[in-house]
Amino acid sequence: MVIEQAPLEDELGDVLEKALAHAGLTPEALGARSGVAAERIRDAIDYRYDFTAVELDHLASALGLHAPGLRALADGRYPLPVIAGLPFCLHPLRSPH
């Protein structure tokens, strides 16, 4: 079974809320730093957002977040991690059906 996209625990609103708390900022302070209106930031925390890529870049910069990752999260296309190999070996069992 191949999973193309894993469900994420945190959505954009969760990430912004946690980053705001970690930075000790209010939506108004983040708005002043990023140039994004505080009302739009509050809407995003409530899972209502339609940020442009430029706005997401400004928010990421103001919060010390990875801009490409924040854009991917907002677009719902966050990639699965690459798994290089298993920490164990799989040996197929041959048996008649």
Span 36-57, pLDDT tens digits: 999 999 999 999 999 999 999 9
Dmax over CA atoms of the chain, in Å, equals 70
pLDDT at 43: 96
CA distance 16 to 14: 6
Rounded to two decimals, the pTM is 0.75
The CB-based long-range contact list for 60-65 (8 Å cut-off, 24+ gap) reads 61/34, 62/30, 62/33, 62/34, 63/16, 63/19, 63/20, 63/23, 63/25, 63/30, 64/19, 64/23, 65/15, 65/19
The low-confidence residues of the chain, meaning pLDDT below 50, are none
* CB within 8 Å of 49: residues ≥ 6 apart: 12, 13, 40, 43, 74
pLDDT at 80: 67
Domains of the chain: 12-74 (1.10.260.40)
